[in-house]
Structure 1
Amino acid sequence: MHNYTPFHTPVYMSYGDLKNETLRAVIPFVNYGFQEAAFTSYHHALTEVAAIAYLLGKGFDPRTAYKTVESWEVNETFY
């Protein structure tokens, strides 16, 4: 008897074009992070990009995620 579960299916087959979809979604924010780091710091830029990515994962559209995170900054800092 064969106990087949969906976990036996390789991930790359289950998710179709997930890699390209994911990279297309995040590359603009990665590029933005590099630009931001030139004026602030890598810590600040990575925090900002990670916060945007988190909000995207929560269902925010990219523009709203970006504007929300920017609204949290005071004098180019979150703290």
Structure 2
Amino acid sequence: MTELSTVDKIALYVGGGLVIIGTFVIGLLEMAVGSGHPVTGDGQIVHEALIDIQIRSYIIIAGLVIWGLYVIYKVAAGPPRTPSAS
């Protein structure tokens, strides 16, 4: 496998970091703090999130967008060039 370039590292670490934060870290935080899910008299669950669901969604979507832009960049850049032995 070839070495990762600066663009590769930025896309993988930032995009992956945002997805991990949005899913795993915020999920652990919600569990640790113990955000309740009370049930109303009608049987509906009221989700009381510590961090708003829209903010959490935007964090995950930002990570996925970064990954998508990285894929578009890699496709447009083409395969890596190898030095010719002449």
The TM-score normalised by the length of structure 2 is 0.29
Greater relative contact order (CA < 8 Å, ≥ 6 in sequence) = 2
What is the TM-score when the length of structure 1 is the normalising length?
A: 0.31
Greater C-alpha Rg:
2
